[in-house]
Amino acid sequence: MKKFLSLLLVLAVLPVALLVVITPMDSQKQYIFGLISIGILCLMGLSKKRSISVIMVVMSVLLSTRYIYFRLTQTLHFNSEIETILGMGLFLAEVYVWVMLLLSYLQTVWPLKRELVQLPDDMSLWPTVDVYIPTYNEPLDVVRDTVLAAQCMDYPRDKMKIYLLDDGKRSEFAVFAADAGVGYITRNDNAHAKAGNLNHAMKLTNGELICVFDCDHVATRIFLQATVGGFLKDPKLALVQTPHYFYSPDPFERNLSVGRNIPNEGALFYGPIQQGNDNWNATFFCGSCAVIRRSALEEIGGFAVETVTEDAHTALKMQRLGWGSAFIDIPLAAGLATERLVLHVIQRTRWARGMTQIFRLDNPLFGRGLTIQQRLCYLSAMLYYQFALPRIAFVTAPLAYLLFNLNIIHSSASLVFAYALPHLFLAVYVNSRLNGRFRYSFWGEIYDLVMAFHIALPTMVTMLFPKRGKFNVTDKGGLLDVGYFDFSVVRPHLIIALLLAAGVVAGIVRACAHDYFGVDPRVIVLNVGWGLYSLIFLLAAIAVARETRQTRKTIRIDVDIPVLIHYASGITSRSQTADLSMGGCRIVAPDDRHLTDEIEAIELLLQSGAISIPVQTVASDEQHIRLMFDDIPLSRRRELVRVVLSRADAWIHPPKPQDNPFRSLLTIVRCVFDLFWLTWKSRRETRRLRAQQAAKVAQEESV
């Protein structure tokens, strides 16, 4: 009955919606209609109800569809072939954005807040779990703590086996595995990269469930207890995915002056998008921090090897056969983000190629087994990585008029703006309301612009030749002693930025002398504004290439643990830690003895016992003492991992403040200002050092 009433409501509203979309208006009436729509939206925004959010989504869809209909029916008239090519390219880019807007609303308007399923009290009923940690060329320093953290998971020892899957076939890894007491698996070749490595391990193990961690992802103690219960409750559940949380800053967080104040780039996907996918039983397997039922994997022939994104393709195959999936929105493990922008580009290029391969080889729109909602969720993910050409089209479109006087939108400036204003305003406002704690307004444009010029060609080639290309591993755990500006990554951005700057200057000149040039000043103003907008975001993307120093190898977390300080004189003092990492700690100075007496070791007083760690003093003052740990035995390091990295609440932090679109835009402008300020400051410092060096040389020569 409820479905029947819903259908009647849709049929009743459909004619009204159609009128909203197709009714033509002149610029004055469209301005009034748009402003009324914006006013209604702002009034509804005062309510926080989910039902109001759904109505706002419907309004946004209608106004955006109205804009696309206007563009289709009134603006696609051109005077030359080049204008036709450029104009149709821009229109298709806008259609792409409209489609992605609709798909994103499908994914995020109904997020599923899944609760944890408790395991039964009788541990004999708990399933057996094989923990796989695949590695290829990563250093042992990165992999070691991942293995030790896996050993710290609270799960019966006789029901959990940990395996280090070493495709690098390195002797030191075999020795470490033996010392740590975990299984070590290697193979004769590296066929199918990570997927092949996992499939080979499946043949040699027999756990009912398979838990996968990338070699830099350290699990919290409760990981298995929080994820395994669902498999007992639902025999058709194949996958439980948890967020990828990164405890080191990515290039955007580290290189931009305001990077730490904005949500992480992946927060939107590992928040509302995956929660929305979960609502439609379309949770993506993300390659790590997940548990999978072995029988489901065996039914599809193991991890997918046809594409370089074996994770999402594996989930798609299982869901085609009717298996269920789940997403738990709690960070239960943490890993290392890409350290440098060039590595970030390489990683995202592989993801773009892989999703394009799936689109070509196993398109979710076709084939059996998926619901309409599942097909659309996967389509959204695959189409997203085709953003390169639309982004390039948007950012370069003003140049057509400003530099070459080409009209690629056949309409008056006032009419275009009247239709575009409500479309853009509602899209920004509604997305900010739905996802504002996970992705701040306009920041998605920066993330995409950084990548657009690099993934455009790979995605086009993959679309034509889907079997080309190979899997590449993203380097993790690197350090950067000296900061630098990576021109190689943003060279195309710099070229387009210079052209836009020239176009803006040319447009201002033409606007000031519009009578002489015989042009409509409103058209020039529209294109100059568009060019300035594009230039701001290009410069913000360029700012990400200013690589800052990365000298700290381990992350410090705030934790208060009782500690005994052992001095060289034999005296012992009691204190507590201010922060702690796998490489050292900062402790509260109990007195001023550390200023004269050397500290040889400390003891962390834990509930499980005391850990004695030899240390060296790095720095100290009257309030705190900074210490660096010396090499410690594996058993002690495992206990340290339990304290620092494997605490149940280690990665649970309060969410970011709710987004304010206007403030977010000002923050991006600040990033641009900081780019120029820091560049000028750096050059001034370089000139000063060169002058000092020249003066020193001159003085030595005179002597």
What average pLDDT does the segment 99-126 reach? 94
Q: What is the mean pLDDT of residues 205-219?
A: 96
Name the residue among 653, 681, 662, 584 with its Cα closest to residue 271: 653
pLDDT in tens, 165-180: 999 999 999 999 999 9
pLDDT of the residue at 467 = 79
DSSP at 335 = E
Q: What is the mean pLDDT of residues 516-542?
A: 89
Architecture label for domain 556-645 = Beta Barrel (2.40)
- Predicted pLDDT of residue 654: 86
311 labelled catalytic: yes
- In eight-state DSSP terms, residue 250 is -
pLDDT of residue 482: 60
Give the separation between CA 134 and CA 136, rounded to whole angstroms.
Answer: 7
**Tens digit of each residue's pLDDT (9 = 90 or more) over 67-89:** 999 999 999 999 899 999 999 99
Q: Which two tokens stand for residue 124?
A: 């004999």
- Rounded to the nearest 5 percent, the helix, strand and coil shares of the chain are 55, 15, 30
Total number of residues shown for the chain: 703
Q: What is the pLDDT of residue 211?
A: 98
The one-letter amino acid at 168: G
Say whether pLDDT at 479 is over 60.
no
Q: What is the predicted pLDDT for the residue at 583?
A: 86
Find residue 104's DSSP bridge partners.
none
Is residue 587 within 8 A of residue 576, CB to CB? The reply is yes
**How confident is residue 551, by pLDDT bands cut at 50, 70 and 90?**
low
Name the nearest CA neighbour of 399 among 239, 542, 507. Answer: 507
Cα 202 from Cα 583, distance rounded (Å) = 35
Q: What is the pTM of this model?
A: 0.90
Distance between CA atoms of residues 66 and 31, nearest Å: 13
Q: What is residue 187's predicted lDDT score, i.e. its pLDDT?
A: 95
Q: Out of 50-54, 372-376, 696-700, which region has the weakest mean confidence (pLDDT)? A: 696-700
Residue 135's pLDDT band, with cuts at 50, 70 and 90, is: very high
Q: 10 Å Cβ neighbour count for 253?
A: 19
pLDDT tens by residue, 554-611: 777 778 889 999 999 889 999 999 888 888 899 999 888 888 888 999 988 877 678 8
The pLDDT assigned to 363 comes to: 92
Catalytic choice (167, 216, 278, 475): 167
- Quick one: pLDDT at residue 652? 86
- The answer to whether the CB of 235 falls within 8 A of the CB of 323 is no
- 667 pLDDT exceeds 70? yes
Q: Write down the catalytic residue from 166, 311, 448, 475.
A: 311
Sequence-ordered strand ranges (E) for 58-98: none
In the DSSP assignment, the letter for residue 550 is B
| Domain boundaries, given as residue ranges, for the chain | 1-109+386-545, 123-337, 556-645
Count of Cβ atoms closer than 10 Å to residue 26 Cβ? 11
Question: 614 or 515: whose pLDDT is higher?
Answer: 614
Domains 123-337 and 556-645 share a fold: no
pLDDT of 703 higher than 60: no
Q: Which residues contact 640 (CB under 8 A, 6 or more apart)?
A: 582, 604, 611, 613, 632
Query: Taking 80 as the threshold, does the pLDDT of residue 698 lie above it?
Result: no
Q: Tell me if 524 sits within 8 A of 541, measured CB to CB.
A: no
Edge-to-edge strand ranges of the sheet holding 324-327:
183-185, 160-166, 129-135, 209-212, 290-293, 237-241, 324-327
For the stretch 363-389, pLDDT in tens is 999 988 999 999 999 999 999 999 999
Q: According to the model, what pLDDT value does residue 14 have?
A: 83
Pick from 247-251, 350-354, 662-666: least confident: 247-251
Residue 631: the pLDDT is 84
- Give me the amino acid identity at 437: R
Does residue 262 contact residue 210 with C-beta atoms inside 8 Å?
A: no
25 with 413: CB under 8 angstroms? Answer: no
Q: Is residue 613 within a helix (H) or strand (E), and if so which, with residue range?
A: strand 609-620
3-state DSSP assignment of residue 699: helix
- Predicted local distance difference test score (pLDDT) of residue 64: 97
The pLDDT assigned to 4 comes to 60
Domain 123-337 architecture: Alpha-Beta Complex (3.90)
| Mean pLDDT across the chain | 90
CA 265/CA 440 separation, integer angstroms: 10
**167 in active site:** yes
Residue 702 has pLDDT above 70, yes or no: no
Residue 3 pLDDT: 56
pLDDT given for residue 522 in this prediction: 87
pLDDT digit string, tens, across residues 293-340: 999 999 999 999 998 888 999 999 999 999 999 999 999 999 988 888
Q: Is the pLDDT of residue 147 over 90?
A: yes
- Asked whether the predicted pLDDT for residue 675 surpasses 70, the reply is yes
pLDDT exceeds 90 at position 643: no
| pLDDT tens for each residue of 423-478 | 999 999 999 999 999 999 999 999 999 999 999 999 999 999 887 766 555 555 55
What is the spatial distance between Cα 666 and Cα 350, in angstroms, rounded to a whole number?
Answer: 32
Q: Say how far apart CA 355 and CA 590 lie, in whole Å.
A: 56
